[in-house]
């Protein structure tokens, strides 16, 4: 009978804990509420999980980019990694719709209150990734390393204003 008790507790939590409010982090979105546009809806938690998975996967491309720049490395790997990140950068704003400011997310409320700034950061990242891809194509490792450092700076710049520390 224990499982019924747990079930009842979960239902109770669902009813009374539906609105997640945390004054400290400014989280206000409703857990479990579908969000979407153009007739496509998705659970808010799933969107948060997808973008967080994407960010962690994007760090794998960084490893590939660095390996290509290293002595003996092949800059074609750098170029391929940079192109992946440019495509990812383009998708970033679409993965932060209204209603996805959940507890499970490390995004700051500024993502939604300063949307223009956030999108400008994502575009700066995309441009820096494209520049890195272009530079890698020339075969110049030193210039590719500089372009890589510039791109890494765009990650940091966005995190400063739009991600919890």
Q: What residues make contact with ligand HEC under the rule CB under 6 A?
A: 48, 51-52, 55-56, 58-59, 62, 85, 92, 105-107, 111, 118, 121-122, 125, 154-155, 158-159, 162-163
Residue 60 Cβ vs ligand HEC, minimum distance, rounded to whole Å: 10
Nearest approach in angstroms of CB 58 to ligand HEC is: 6
22: three-class secondary structure by DSSP: strand
For ligand HEC, which is the closer residue by CB, 33 or 163? 163
- Among 2, 44, 37, 36, smallest CA distance to 19 is for 44
Looking at beta carbons only, is 48 or 136 nearer to ligand HEC? Answer: 48
Shortest reach from residue 73's CB to ligand HEC, in Å:
18
List beta partners, residue 34: 43
- Closest contact distance (angstroms) between CB of 106 and ligand HEC is 4
In the complex with ligand HEC, the residue whose CB is nearer, 8 or 42, is: 42
Specify the residue, 22 or 72, whose C-beta has the smaller distance to ligand HEC: 22
The runs of H, that is alpha helices, within the chain are 2-16, 44-69, 75-91, 110-113, 115-138, 141-162
Q: Residue 156 and residue 158: Cα distance in Å, rounded?
A: 5
Q: How far apart are CA 144 and CA 65, in angstroms?
A: 9
Q: Residues 153, 156, 160, CA angle at the centre, nearest 5°?
A: 140
């Amino acid at each position: 009978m224990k499982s019924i008790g747990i079930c009842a507790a979960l239902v109770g939590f669902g009813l009374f804990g539906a609105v997640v409010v945390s004054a400290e982090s400014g989280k206000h979105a409703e857990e479990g509420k579908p969000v979407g546009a153009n007739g496509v809806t998705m659970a808010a938690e799933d969107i948060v999980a997808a973008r967080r998975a994407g960010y962690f996967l994007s760090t794998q491309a960084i490893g590939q980019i660095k390996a290509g720049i290293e002595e003996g490395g092949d800059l074609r790997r750098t170029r391929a990694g940079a192109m992946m990140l440019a495509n990812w950068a383009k998708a970033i704003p679409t993965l932060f719709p209204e209603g996805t400011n959940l507890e499970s997310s490390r995004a700051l409320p500024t993502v939604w209150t300063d949307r223009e700034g956030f999108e400008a950061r994502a575009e700066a990242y995309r441009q820096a990734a494209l520049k890195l891809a272009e530079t890698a194509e020339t075969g110049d490792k030193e210039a590719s390393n500089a372009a890589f450092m510039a791109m890494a700076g765009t990650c940091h710049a966005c995190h400063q204003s739009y991600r919890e520390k």
